[in-house]
Amino acid sequence: MITEFVVTAGEQPKRLDVFLVNRERDMSRSRLQRLIELGRIRINDQVVRPSQKIKPGDKITMDVPKPEPLELQGEAIPLEVLFEDEHLLVLNKPSGIVVHPAPGNWTGTLVNALLHYFQVSGGTVSSVGGKERPGLVHRLDKDTSGVMVIAKTDQAHRHLSGQFKQHTITRVYEALVWGVPKKGHGLIELAIGRDSKERKKFSARTARPKDSVTEYKVDRRFGKTVAHVLLYPRTGRTHQLRVHLASLGHPILGDPTYGGRKVCSVDAVEVSRVMLHARTLGFRHPVTEEVCEYERPAPPDMERLMRELEHCVDLRRMSDA
């Protein structure tokens, strides 16, 4: 696919690969460098090096070949189905499973599990997301557990996607965070996007910020070290909850990306994954228009950690008595 654009006025001189990596969010710097070296990315119709400096007025042409389609195979991975009809499927995703195939995770994903599930049941799945993301209306991070909806028809997919886009979906998350927020209830309004220096992270330090809003409520305190919070995202940006909580100074336990190594253990208790759970998901049924809402409690590892934290609090109280 060939695309062309002109570098806008006010753009500071920088390397072509650095400029593009901040603009093309779905492409790695190494892949962009390879395309430049192959002559598939040019400046003013001239073959250049990745280190070539761009300037306002430059015309950049990108000829990016379409990726070869994946031949995905179904895998017998257990699914906890909460509801299913001929239009959609609602499930409780466990932590530790990637939602869709990507470099480094071509197998063992939720998509592989869904393909096997529908092969066995004889059901259908929406084709709107393409071969790599069949039925996926939204996603959860690998470590995040919780309720997801899968579209079985193209009509259902488009209808549900529209609800997500219009932010009419009901979503409630719960998380265990480092420290206790000073305010028991608040609103975090912080525009975020892909970090301009660390591409695997999202932050306010970005060339393409998008409005992001999260409401939070402190539900339970474990002394002064940890809080259990309920989260009500009003927008759905990538890593939004993780970034917003870190911006408060209270990153999610088990999230070294945004909280550093310190959040991976508390009171000598190891935290093996990001303690974030999608508890509630509500939407209008794409055909009947009925209001549907599904809820699942926190998974066993999260409940176990809360019991251990409560035990540590009790021990401190006894020692102080």
DSSP letters, 34-93, are HHHHTTSEEETTEE--TTPEE-TT-EEEEEPPPPPPP---------EEEEE-SSEEEEEE
The C-alpha atoms of residue 282 and residue 259 are separated, in whole angstroms, by 30
* Known active-site residue 255: no
Which residue has tokens 């999202």?
Answer: 202
Q: Which residues pair with 192 in a beta bridge?
A: 210
Q: For 295, which DSSP code?
A: E
Catalytic residue among 141, 143, 195, 255: 141
- The amino acid at 10: G
Which residue reads 């806008």 in tokens? 8
Q: Is the dihedral of CA 42, 50, 68, 150 positive or negative?
A: negative
Active-site positions read 141
